[in-house]
Amino acid sequence: MKLVLRLPERKEVEVKGDRPLKEILLELGLNPETVVVIRGEELLTLDERVGEGETLEVLSAISGG
């Protein structure tokens, strides 16, 4: 599976799929609570399984007040 990271610079990485999203993020050293992951136009939850052949985009979650 291909992940496009925008944290803030763009970087593409290949990782093994068919497992929960949270596991993949932790493997990459990313804190799951500080990013959002998008597949197409769908926002994914951390327990969602993602498969081989998918492309996901990982963005920094920004909050403001």
Domains along the chain with CATH numbers: 2-60 (3.10.20.90)
Confidence band, pLDDT 50/70/90 cuts, at residue 62 = confident
| Residue 3: count of CB within 10 angstroms of its CB | 21
| 1 touches 53 (CB < 8 A) | yes
Tokens of 43: 């926002």
Q: Which amino acid is at 26?
A: L
Q: Give 21-44 pLDDT, tens digit per residue.
A: 999 999 999 999 999 999 999 999
Q: What is the pLDDT of residue 65?
A: 67
**Cα(22)–Cα(10) distance, integer angstroms:** 20
pTM greater than 0.75: yes
Phi, psi torsion values for 22, nearest 5 degrees: -60, -40
Q: What percent of the chain has pLDDT over 90?
A: 88
